[in-house]
Structure 1
């Protein structure tokens, strides 16, 4: 059953009136250490927050199966927002939503890009990750050996059950991807949403799909006011999530574009120092609940 929101919230939760009930965090460059691992301190803090009654949300551009492979039987219950908001799964299993691109949109995306030899086409489908060719950029994009792409020639890529399509620019030419983004948006209009997860990776989802919109749906299901949510992120695919909650916090390693988009947001340490866990332990855990 969805949790009931605590009574009596007003003002800034860090002033002692009420703590944030919903904690959402991006993974790459935010909560995960290099090598796609959760640090020991981060694991400890998440366990204690869960026992204290906070909801934990992992909000990422990754595929759900990818994120699930990073968790184990000792992991506390967490809610998942994956594929940049195309998939929502509550910890209790009572909410499972998927927003997929229409077959016509996928066909158009493939027609526009199939002949470009400097692009690698990627699809997140219900069954997994398909990639049109081998690409050196893969080693910077995914370090999880338990979730790797299946090669599938561009002409054989499916049109159905596609959560998102994303493109690697093989020579990391950001300007070329900006031109592609403009062409796709001109042709498909309000049928799609686009975002850069890296300067050389352009992602395309269905209209209105984003981490921020997904988090609002999850908060409504849990009966938690969106102002009682704190979120952490480092890239432009986090911007609407960070802007739409009670408190959005940027990583010290956040992209310059994100800092420009949210100039008033608090900036903390780097993901390599488990800065999110240290911030949460300081502000949301009672001293008796702190890790040893």
Structure 2
């Protein structure tokens, strides 16, 4: 009996135009009636995720910032944040990559250090709560995540960051243009395990859907693991099942069939 369903957002639950399935409301209500908890897990900040699910928040569990922050029954928990020395090392390295856009992510607010068109566009898309600062080192709160945007997608700078910091932080792609750096040991999977403990639901009674490497640990934390048809190969290899693509609203298709929802 599955009692918890966790879904990634971009590239998984939402289509490429960032839309939900028109059947979502019906399916969510049916899951609630069956005693199933719905969990949204994303690399986005909490305010962005909740904005996407405005009007549906009651009863939904949220994982934001790739597992460093969770919200259960309206209570927000910060699971992990960077120590000052390591965050400074990462930020100083990023200063040497002027073509990259950096986002400094706190528990509630995120910060950018540029007001150019690309930075503002990304902030409007993904950061409902954000501020522009002159220097990241002036921010009082430690980051829970540092995100790096590359307009050209994964490149040698991304590889350099992975090679340099993977021993001391968790570094993974989040889509094709973003690299997320979070404190070592943090991931959607670790956050989901915390939620399973809070709710008293074993991994054998959990289902998850994902498409990118930041979903890897989350899919390994459940028995019913689904890779989207559009997922990267590594995700398909470790998942037990495959769902139709995000543009076909594959998550909803699987949930309707699995839970016998008309």
Please give the TM-score of this superposition, normalised by the length of structure 2.
0.89
The alignment partner of 2:43 has SS state of coil
Native 8 Å contact 1:86 1:209 kept in 2: yes
From 13, 16, 40, the equivalent of 2:22 is 40
Following TM superposition, by how much is the alpha carbon of 1:243 offset from its aligned partner in structure 2, in angstroms?
1.7
Hey, what's the Cα distance between the residues in 2 that align with 1:121 and 1:236? 20
Change (3 A) 1:145 1:174: closer
Native 8 Å contact 2:192 2:221 kept in 1: no
From 163, 172, 177, the equivalent of 2:144 is 163
The aligned counterpart of 1:215 is 192
Give deviations 1:229-277, integer Å, cap 9, x for gaps. 01000100001111221111011111233234x2x53112111221111
The aligned counterpart of 2:103 is 122
Native 8 Å contact 2:2 2:206 kept in 1: yes
Native 8 Å contact 1:135 1:170 kept in 2: no
Moved more, 175-184 or 146-155: 146-155
Hey, what's the Cα distance between the residues in 2 that align with 1:169 and 1:88? 27
Which structure: larger Rg? 1
Change (3 A) 1:135 1:107: farther
The alignment partner of 1:162 has SS state of coil
The aligned counterpart of 2:7 is 25
Q: Is 1:272 the equivalent of 2:253?
A: no
The alignment partner of 2:144 has SS state of strand
Hey, what's the Cα distance between the residues in 2 that align with 1:131 and 1:209? 22
Unaligned runs of 5+ in 2: none
Unaligned runs of 5+ in 1: 1-18
Following TM superposition, by how much is the alpha carbon of 1:173 offset from its aligned partner in structure 2, in angstroms?
4.9
Q: Is 1:65 the equivalent of 2:40?
A: no
Following TM superposition, by how much is the alpha carbon of 1:120 offset from its aligned partner in structure 2, in angstroms?
1.3
| Matched residue count | 261
Alignment of 1:143-154 (within 5 A): 144=125, 147=128, 149-154=130-135
From 19, 24, 32, the equivalent of 1:50 is 32
Alpha-carbon RMSD? 2.4
Q: Is 1:84 the equivalent of 2:66?
A: yes
The aligned counterpart of 1:11 is none
Give deviations 1:107-135, integer Å, cap 9, x for gaps. 11111221321221111112422122236
Q: Is 1:229 the equivalent of 2:206?
A: yes
Hey, what's the Cα distance between the residues in 2 that align with 1:27 and 1:52? 23
